Amino acid sequence: MTEHQKRIALAQAKRIVVKVGSALLSQPKGGLATERIHHICEQINYLLEQGVQVVLVSSGAVSAGMGKLGLSTRPTELHDLQAAAAVGQMGLVEVYERGFSTYDRKTAMILLTHEDLANRQRYLNARATLTRILDMGVVPIINENDTVATEEIRFGDNDTLASLVVNLLQADLMVILTDTDGLHEEDPKSNPQAPLVSMIEVNDTRLDAMVTSTSGHFGRGGMLTKLAAARRAARSGAHTLIASGEMDNVLTKCIQGEDIGSLLVASVTPMDARKGWIAGQLKAKGDLLLDAGASNMIREKGVSLLPVGVTGLDGKFSRGDVVRCVDPSGTVFAQGLVNYDSDETQKLLGALSEDISNLLGYAAEPELIHRDNLAVFDGLST
């Protein structure tokens, strides 16, 4: 993709997920940066006037609660975080409501946990509801439901949540607004002269050496989570733009095709809805360790996973659970819905499909994972 194509890709996006981090929405000592939030509302209104559908994934509930509770540092205990989020969520909604009311825009607040997207029926319900909200011209404001999420089900950061919303709605573009002007070849906090990456293919291995896992005072996600989110969004064919939320009219400039921020380019063919849902599951129940032959055939031919190609397994899982496929190098390159539980799978390691009945006393399916239930994606290291 050339710089000209970059501008066209930004300008032609018709459904955008905008993620705004806590650092942009927060005052230094807690509380919300109301003026900046209202400027974000102004920009989103402009996008809507241009016929662009916008979903806003917003942090800030915990920070708003910190301000109301007089806390100067982000709580570390789960229940303290949940309490701060519960107190702050009302204030966050109120500020957005006031900001959008200036333009006679209606808003809808949607709080999600991982379980809402891990359950297929709830996933479909969420997609139908959000699609209807967008069709009505309402601005959906999405946040993680910090007040009820536990460590086992929480997304961990709103970058991840935004990428799952991209997959959910088949958005064209994810815009991550942060407190830096984009992705740099080195951490600009330690090297202010580090060059900005204007555009790069999202799975380029050079990116892994550039990112850092450090996070801000109020947030949970660093550039590492943004890269992981961009790669997840790319599974739906969506590009990701990382840009400074401190820039005036950054969203307006984005759809006008100005050369701003860092564009991480998706290069994969979008998955169908079912496989997109499978690929988006964050909490796989186990790993299947594959030999080189099975790994290559699944990657190159999109075939089903047969027992003969599996050399080992990790974890405890049941029939129908999501499990990951790991190649001999330790790279996770696919995940799918398994046809046998972990105890049965252990007995089937390396076996031919015609031997399943003799080994188990029955044969439910000839494969461990059918190709229709197997989502292949660019590899992630275990």
pLDDT at residue 356, rounded to an integer: 96
- From-to residues of CATH 2.30.130.10 in the chain: 284-381
Percentage with pLDDT > 70 across the chain:
90
Fold annotation for 284-381:
2.30.130
Closest CA to 368 of 293, 300, 317, 299: 317
Mean predicted confidence (pLDDT) in 291-307 = 96
Beta strand pairing status for 139-144 and 173-178? Answer: unpaired
- Are the beta carbons of 194 and 188 closer than 8 angstroms? yes
pLDDT at residue 29, rounded to an integer: 67
> What are 36-90's pLDDT values in tens digits?
999 999 999 999 999 999 999 998 888 888 878 888 777 778 788 888 888 888 8
Query: What single string gives the DSSP state of each residue in 279-318?
Result: HT-S--SEEEEE-HHHHHHHHHH-PPBPGGGEEEEEE---
SS3 193: coil
Residues 6+ apart with CB under 8 A from 261: 181, 182, 241, 242, 243, 244, 250, 254
Q: How confident is the model at residue 379 (pLDDT cuts 50, 70, 90)?
A: low
User: Among the CATH numbers 3.60.15.10, 3.10.290.10, 3.40.1160.10, 3.40.50.300, which is that of 3-275?
Assistant: 3.40.1160.10
- From-to residues of CATH 3.40.1160.10 in the chain: 3-275
> What are 333-376's pLDDT values in tens digits?
999 999 999 999 999 999 999 999 999 999 989 999 999 899 99
Backbone region of residue 55 per phi and psi (left: phi > 0; alpha: psi in -120 to 50; beta: other values): beta
pLDDT at residue 68, rounded to an integer: 82
Q: How confident is the model at residue 155 (pLDDT cuts 50, 70, 90)?
A: low
Q: How big, in percent rounded to 5, are the helix, strand and coil portions of the chain?
A: 40, 20, 40
pLDDT at residue 1, rounded to an integer: 62
10 Å CB burial of residue 369 (0-12, 13-18, 19+) is buried
- Are the beta carbons of 220 and 155 closer than 8 angstroms? no
